[in-house]
Amino acid sequence: MARHLLEMALAMLAGMLLLGPARGALAGAFGLAPASPGVGALLMATDMSVGMAVWMWYRGHSGPAIGEMTAAMYVPVLLLLVPFRAGLIDGDALLMGGHLLMLPAMLVAMLRRRDEYARHHASRPTPRQHPWVRALAHRWPTGLALLMTFGNWFSPLAPHPLALLVLPGGYLLIGAYRGRLGDRRVLAVQLAGLAGWTALALAAVALGGDAALWLVAAGWLAHAAWDAVHHRRNEVVPRGYAEFCGVLDAVVGVTVSLMILATP
C-alpha cells in the first residue's frame, strides 16, 4: 500500500508541474488576470487530481476508488477555505495546509479500500511491463529533468549569472565524495571547468543586459555538453546525474536563448 501512495504522490506532482504552467500560459495568452489564492488552490488541486486519476486508471483502480481519491485532493482545500475567507489564514497557509492535509486524506481513502490497494492490479499492464513505462524507467533522469523544467517553455527565467558556479561546483563536490578526483588529470580538468564557468559568470555580471543573458545561456548549454562527455565516459559523477544535469542544462540554455530572441 505504501508503494501505491508513493506512486500517486508522484503522479500528483507530475500533474501539478505539467498542467500548472500550461494553464498559466493559456491564461496569459487570453489576457486573464491571475487567479485569487482561493481559486488558485482549487486549480492546484485539480492539476494534482488529473495526474493522480490518470495514473490510477492506468493501474486498473475502480471508478469509486478514483473518485474518493480525487475528493481527498479537494476536501482539505475546501475545509481551509473557511478560515481563509474569515481572514484567519493567508494564501500561503492555504496552499501549504492544503498540501499537508492531502496526504492523510489520501491515506484515509486508501484504508477504506485496503484490499484494492493491497492487491496487484492485473487488469492493465503493470508499469514494468508497458514499453513506454519501461523506457521512462530506463531514462528516468531525463524524464525528471524534463518534468522539472516543463514550466520554462511557458515562462522562461534566466538564472542569475552566479548560478553558473553551481554547475562545476556540483561535479567537484560529488566527485570528491565518490573519491573520483584522485587522478591529477581528472582533478585538473574539473578545476579548469570551475575556472572557466567562474570567468563566464563574472563577465556576465560585469556586462549586464542582453550580453549577460547570452553568456548565461551559453554557460548552461556548454555545461550540457560537459555533462554529455562525462556521461559517455562515466567519469566523476554517476551517469544518472550527468544525464539529469545535461537535459536540465540544455533546456535552461535553450529557453533563455529563446527568451532573448523573443524580447523586442
Which domain, by its residues, includes 209? 161-262
Across 56-65, 110-119, 162-171, least confident range: 110-119
Domain boundary among 76, 101, 136: 136
**SS3 for 181-193, per residue?**
CCCHHHHHHHHHH
Same domain, 79 and 187: no
Query: Is 147 among the domain residues?
Result: no
Query: Is 151 among the domain residues?
Result: no
Query: Is 145 among the domain residues?
Result: no
Tally of structural domains, the chain: 2
Task: Check residues 107 and 162 and name the one with the higher pLDDT.
Answer: 162
Query: Is 156 among the domain residues?
Result: no
pLDDT band at 96 (very low <50, low <70, confident <90, very high): confident
Read off the pTM: 0.62
Phi, psi (rounded to 5 degrees) for 204: -65, -40
Query: How many CB atoms sit inside 10 A of residue 13's CB?
Result: 15
Same domain, 118 and 213: no
Same domain, 98 and 205: no
Same domain, 34 and 112: yes
Q: 74: alpha, beta or left, given left = phi > 0 and alpha = psi -120 to 50? A: alpha
Query: Is 150 among the domain residues?
Result: no
Domain boundary among 136, 170, 205: 136
Tens-place pLDDT, residues 142-157: 877 887 787 788 878 8
* Residue 207 contacts residue 236 (beta carbons within 8 Å): no
d(CA 47, CA 67): 15
Across 55-69, 179-193, 219-233, least confident range: 55-69
With DSSP H G I counted as helix, E B as strand and the rest as coil, what are the percentages for the chain, rounded to 5? 80, 0, 20
Query: Is 142 among the domain residues?
Result: no
Tens-place pLDDT, residues 109-125: 888 888 887 765 544 54
Mean pLDDT computed over every residue of the chain: 86
Residue that the C-alpha cell 478514483 belongs to: 66
* Mean pLDDT along residues 100-107: 84
**SS3 for 89-151, per residue?**
CCHHHHHHHHHHHHHHHHHHHHHHCHHHHHCCCCCCCCCCCCHHHHHHHHCHHHHHHHHHCHH
Same domain, 90 and 18: yes
